[in-house]
Amino acid sequence: MAAQLMGAWDEYAVESHEYVHAGPYVVAEQLLRGRNKHGLTLDRHWSVFTFTNGKGVTWRFYQTCDEALEAVGLRDG
């Protein structure tokens, strides 16, 4: 799946900023930049990574910081 996603882009870069550690989760603001054959670009979102035994096991995307923090129980919905 990841190879298919990455293969759709001619250029792709990720910068992670502002990490929040919450138990088995890490919330990170991410800036994505990419260009595909249609000229589309991506921009900012928030990711929630879940770790088990020191290994990343899930990666979910959210539009806002509040949504990501709510997903890990740090904000009320």
Q: Tokens standing for 54?
A: 């020191």
Q: Quick one: pLDDT at residue 3?
A: 66
Three-state SS for 68?
helix
How many other C-beta atoms lie within 10 A of the C-beta of residue 30? Answer: 16
Domain boundaries, the chain: 2-71
Is the whole-model pTM more than 0.85? Answer: no
Q: Which amino acid is at 28?
A: A
- The CATH number of 2-71, from 3.40.190.170, 3.40.50.2300, 3.50.50.60, 3.10.450.50, is 3.10.450.50
pLDDT in tens, the chain (77 residues): 556 666 777 887 888 988 999 889 999 999 888 887 777 777 888 999 998 898 889 999 999 999 999 999 988 76
